[in-house]
Structure 1
């Protein structure tokens, strides 16, 4: 593949400054760093996991990183191109709360059917617990299953054992720890 995305075209930069919360200068800086880490212009899942391992040396972020990778890889081709990377980074770092919650919903909705099931929620919560490397101290959340049960008790308003985007958004706004747990909470 060679240097697939070694130089950003101006129309790409214009599109990204319109579609993201980054300036042209920031996009160029991020692109330079992206190419430094991914000379062929593609970030693989293994490379993505390696990055997460640098930030979470006490735990095992592999499962969580794979789940996040799936959301970053918008076209499902098995790699993250720079445009996918910068769009996801824009939402997770600078997006408004609804944008972050929509992104988080996509993360939790592993099978993309428009609902978060208990199993999907457990999958993410368990991955977060593995990544952090320690269990929360509170008794009612000291296992992934207890955390999932608590989340569903709070969010699943119609008690159908699955969360709609609306239930997820409303519940997350009522319990901001959902967003914070994903490091999507902003400053």
Structure 2
């Protein structure tokens, strides 16, 4: 849970980032490129596909712009989210087409995206298809060929390492600590 004083700092930081990004949206928020730059430089994210998905999960009103409310809400999950909030966030990142399920094709695309192997395309695709089958065996509890939120939640509760099974979409703890030190420095040291 983010404290009121921390929310105020996040709001100040948001306005300064919007100003710095010089977004041509009447300064209403951060567009995808500006947001991705923050995910990369501040939170160490490098995967293009996942950064786009994180943007879409933050952008609750789907206007292709992160407003201040979405910024604070998304960062509160990033920085201080409960296990349940992070579970829901990761699931939303992973179901790509918005239907509430992670399909075989989506699993294939995400695994292919995250596995940059030197082997030939054909060998790589075969290996990924095997991984998809293994993943579905492990996570598809109702055997319907796709992973529902209930399937995902059950699998992750049994094995917490599965939380980011399809790629890193949450920042590492060190990046969160560094971000908090920067964002909340006014609280820690009011003379700034």
Q: TM-score, normalised by structure 1?
A: 0.70
Work out the CA distance in 1 between the residues paired with 2:129 and 2:173.
Answer: 27
2:9 corresponds to: 29
Where do 1:48-67 residues align within 5 Å?
Answer: 48-54=35-41, 55-56=43-44, 60-67=46-53
Please state how far the C-alpha of 1:24 moved relative to its aligned partner.
1.5
| Among candidates 23, 30, 33, match of residue 43 of structure 1 | 30
Tell me what 1:153 maps to. Answer: 137
- Please name the residue that 1:182 is paired with: 169
Deviation per residue, 1:80-138 (Å, 9 max, x gap)? 001101111212322221221112111112222121112223333444456xx99xxxx
Residue of 72, 75, 94 corresponding to 1:86: 72
> Mean alpha-carbon deviation: is it higher for 172-181 or for 102-111?
172-181
Query: Does 2:87 align with 1:101?
Result: yes
Q: Deviations over 1:45-66 (max 9, x none)?
A: 0112222332548xx4222111
Distance 2:132 2:77 in 1: 25
Displacement of 1:183 after TM fit? 2.9
Deviations 1:34-55 (A, max 9, x none): 1111122411101122223325
Structure 1 stretch displaced more, 71-80 or 108-117: 108-117
Following superposition, the deviation at residue 67 of structure 1 comes to 0.9
1:185 CA displacement = 8.1
- Structure 2 unaligned runs (5+)? 20-26, 119-126, 175-192
Query: Does the aligned pair in 1 maintain the 2:87–2:153 contact within 8 Å?
Result: yes
**Which runs of no fewer than 5 residues in structure 1 stay unpaired?**
1-20, 135-142
Q: Pick one of 107, 130, 147 that aligns with 1:121.
A: 107
User: CA, structure 1 residues 62+76, in 2 after alignment: closer, same or farther (shift >3 Å)?
Assistant: same
Which residue does the alignment assign to 2:147? 163
Q: Secondary structure at the match of 1:42?
A: coil
- SS for the counterpart of 2:30 is strand
